[in-house]
Chains A and B, each alone.
Chain A
Amino acid sequence: MTKFEYAPAPESGAVVDLKPSYGLFINGQFVDGTGTSFKTISPATEEVLAEVAEASAADVDAAVKAARAAYTRVWSKLSGADRGKYLFRIARILQERAREFAVLETLDNGKPIKESRDVDVPIAAAHFFYHAGWADKLDYASLGPNPRPHGVVGQIIPWNFPMLMLAWKIAPALATGNTVVLKPAETTPLTALLFAEVCQQADLPPGVVNIVTGAGVTGQAIVDHHSIDKIAFTGSTGVGKAIARAIAGTPKKATLELGGKAANIIFDDAPIDQAVEGIINGIFFNQGHVCCAGSRLLVQESIADEVDRRLKRRLQTLRVGDPLDKNTDVGAINSRAQLDRITSLVAAGEAEGAERWDTGCPLPEKGFWFRPTVFTGVSQTHRIAQEEIFGPVVSVLTFRTPSEAVAKANNTPYGLSAGIWTEKGSRILWMADQMRAGVVWANTFNKFDPTSPFGGYKESGYGREGGRHGLAAYVTTGEGA
């Protein structure tokens, strides 16, 4: 029995008005899908939240046609300032309805309410505010001469940050004058459908944003549609490669934000208590369902034992459980399929000889859960050091010198992010220069801001989202049109 037992402090689910079933959002209206509808569940309880329509190829075609018509007749004719007005309006509505979005995200995704409340939803709103400001200033964004939209953009987003990834995709697309057909992930469609209501509430012209729900087949229909000008995808490297193959030889543009196996590098002169927090934020934030997660911990050998001791002590204070409880630090794994994948990779780690440790904390009986887990004695060749686990599992490796840290950090097919922990400023700059990763954090981790471009190297994809660089992916420049 602990002395200071925090009583349950659940956020009320009553702020969310869940409908029994949801249609597709096409041309400003909710319509029935012609595919086979599917259920979305709460991963924390396995309860069915709602029945969601599946968009068939015909439904996707209707959505693309609506987007094309909206582009040609309305959106491309609006001034940047007028597009900005809509984006500002959406941003304000997101802030006003923040609690509703946070609770719904937590219900559908399983992430702790403190994260959906303090990270996902506020940053999603910030992306709309940020891009609203750019809408009438594109000529001055150094994008090149005569920046203009591609037309209709197909966007496919993952389940780990459903609302935030929607904002990353839709805000820059609309700011630059494109119209959108977006598919949320099949396990987390609800906040995207609530966002569709926000589009109605903001009087966004019909067809500018279309939301089609479904799984891989629906995504494929978007990718293959002849009238799509650009694909923006966030998800697994496997699917990203399939998309790149599918659009090869077509005029379709693409940006792909794919997997990662980031190194979080701790030098012996690191601010140790903050580094431990950074390790935890790096891999246990959002249950480790983060493409840029610091899943490979590289610790200088001279402090490896101390970091191990401090990390494990700190992990004992992580609270795993009901995602709606405001004191929960680690929520539910998003799906049975993901839990199975984590479980099998962890088994592989043990089989390959790495030493497994977990907090031993109690887990709820229903739902999908995985204890925060640390693997020590990991080698570069182990699968848990190479493959993306996408769960609350950190693999600890050691290094002896800065050069060795660089070599190990870069020795991965991925290149999305990296973390560097040292009190020595010159080493931060040198390391950042050596890292083949799109995002490098120094003495912090998993910090996101709409002004800062995000994206990867190598098998982590191409293109940037956020900042001025993110705008570039949504415009063409130069002569023509």
Chain B
Amino acid sequence: MSSTPVDTAVDATARARDLLGVSRLTNSALTAWLHGLPGVDQVGCEARAAALGTRSIKTDSKKWAIDLAISMIDLTTLEGADTPGKVRGLCAKALTPDASDLTAPRPAAVCVYGDMVATARATLGTDSGVNIAAVATAFPSGRASMAVKLADTREAVAAGADEIDMVIDRGAFIAGDYLRVFDEIAEVKKACGSARLKVIMETGELVTYDNVRRASWLSMLAGGDFIKTSTGKVSPAATLPVTVIMLEAVRDWLDLTGEMVGVKPAGGIKTSKDAIKFLVAVNEVAGEAWLDNHWFRFGASSLLNDLLLQRQRMTLGYYSGADYITDDAPSLY
């Protein structure tokens, strides 16, 4: 965590009025602004993502990228069947990713349901460098009253969460009720206090790239510290083209406001090869300032062990095998 967060504790509505140049923030003002963003050409965007995916990252740069990717993971368990034992295992893994090589960096955070924050905190302590992220706001659907969503958020923060991963109301977004989405994000942001807020847009449910771009800008306008693709419960989750659009959004937001916002693709990134493609995209689209776990995260569970396997291979010169990497989150089934 080399960089310090920009203070975004400004009144989101006042700032939005200022940016949009309106005296009152209405849904029509938001609509005009969001629909005035440049369109995304699907074919061109996917071609750009595919081209970034052809970069060939070898030797020293691969080693560097693997360690960076490990340090960017939000190591996640979000199952109905999560137990304190599972969460303790996850935290132990975060503290010691590779028991055979203590030089392996720790992931950025563990990501759990709100009721597991206290358990995670008990295992991680307060000085491990591993943050605790909690999903909140009636994750994953977001279908609950505002009061419930805020209570969900406050409870997680009170239990010790450093970061909150909220979901937007996709129904409201798709119905064009942008003001509702804005207000919810702004309210949750206030409820977060000093915790950093990641805004999950669930891009798989937004379907079009134009919607992804609009949701990204709306989330940043409302005060999100991170924009995040997915809950992991909907397919498709984190695709490279969607992430490219989000990286373009944070890059352009920096130009407009001078503020940096983080990006978190989550769900479906399982291999080192995939993770490195995302890092190439970060490097070439947003820029190297985002190559830091303060500004870029992977929401993942199995990715960590594949990165560790590759890391061992680069150290040892041969593949060790899955049984030489500890697995604290095997499948239930």
Contact = CB atoms under 8 A, between A and B. Distances in A.
Contact of A273 (B45, B64, B284): B45
B54 to A, nearest CB: 6
Interface in B269-287: 279-280, 283-284
B40 A273 contact: yes
A317 B284 CA distance: 6
Contacts of A364: none
Contacts of A96: none
A9 B57 CA distance: 7
A279 to B, nearest CB: 11
A118 B54 contact: yes
B60 interface: yes
Nearest to A326: B56
Interface residues on A, range: 20 to 34
Contact of B64 (A4, A114, A278): A4
A444 B55 contact: no
B316 interface: no
A106 B319 CA distance: 33
Contacts of A3: 283, 288, 291
A6 B65 CA distance: 10
Contacts of B54: 114, 118, 326
Contacts of B39: 269-271, 423
A327 interface: yes
A423 B42 CA distance: 11
A7 interface: yes
Interface string B38-61: 111101110110000011111111
A460 B319 CA distance: 56
B10 to A, nearest CB: 26
B41 A274 contact: yes
A143 B291 CA distance: 58
Interface in A239-282: 269-275, 277-278
A448 to B, nearest CB: 14
A431 B279 CA distance: 39
A6 B41 contact: no
Contact of A277 (B47, B55, B57): B47
Given A7-B58, A7-B61, A271-B38, A2 B44 contact: no
B143 interface: no
B44 A443 contact: yes
B61 A5 contact: yes
Contacts of B180: none
B279 A4 contact: yes
B57 A6 contact: yes
A9 to B, nearest CB: 4
A103 to B, nearest CB: 15
B17 interface: no
B63 to A, nearest CB: 9
A328 to B, nearest CB: 10
Contacts of B58: 7-9
Interface string B14-45: 00000000000000000000000011110111
B248 interface: yes
A50 B47 CA distance: 37
Contacts of A273: 38, 40, 44-45, 48, 248
Contacts of B283: 3-4
B88 interface: no
Contacts of A6: 55-57, 61
B45 A274 contact: yes
Contacts of A5: 60-61
A226 B16 CA distance: 77
A9 B40 CA distance: 32
A6 B40 CA distance: 29
A194 to B, nearest CB: 24
Contacts of A270: 38-39
A263 B60 CA distance: 42
B196 interface: no
A458 B258 CA distance: 50
Contacts of B279: 4
Nearest to A422: B39
Contacts of B45: 273-274
Nearest to A423: B39
Interface string A134-178: 000000000000000000000000000000000000000000000
B69 to A, nearest CB: 11
Nearest to B59: A7
A238 to B, nearest CB: 35
B62 interface: yes
A270 B45 CA distance: 13
Given A114-B54, A327-B55, A4 B40 contact: no
B56 A9 contact: yes
Nearest to A421: B41
Contacts of B38: 269-273
B298 to A, nearest CB: 16
Contacts of B284: 317
A91 B54 CA distance: 25
Contacts of B41: 271, 274, 423, 443
A4 B65 contact: yes
B62 to A, nearest CB: 7
Interface string A313-341: 00001000000001100000000000000
Contacts of A274: 40-41, 44-45, 48
A440 to B, nearest CB: 16
Interface string A277-299: 11000000000000000000000
A444 B57 contact: no
Nearest to A319: B55
Nearest to B37: A272
**Considering residues B65, B284, B288, which has the most beta carbons from chain A within 10 angstroms of its beta carbon?**
B284
Contacts of A327: 55-56
Nearest to B244: A273
Nearest to B289: A3
Contact of A4 (B43, B47, B56, B288): B288
Nearest to B251: A313
Contacts of B43: 443-444
A3 B248 CA distance: 19
A320 to B, nearest CB: 15
9 contacts: A3-B283, A4-B279, A5-B60, A269-B38, A270-B39, A273-B38, A273-B48, A326-B56, A327-B55
Interface of A: 2-9, 114, 118, 269-275, 277-278, 317, 326-327, 423, 443-444
Closest 9 CB pairs of A and B: A274-B44, A9-B56, A271-B41, A326-B56, A272-B38, A274-B41, A7-B61, A3-B288, A423-B39
Interface of B: 38-41, 43-45, 47-48, 54-62, 64-65, 248, 279-280, 283-284, 288, 291
Given A4-B291, A271-B44, 14 more contacts: A2-B288, A5-B60, A6-B55, A7-B59, A9-B57, A9-B58, A114-B54, A269-B38, A269-B39, A270-B39, A271-B41, A277-B48, A444-B43, A444-B44
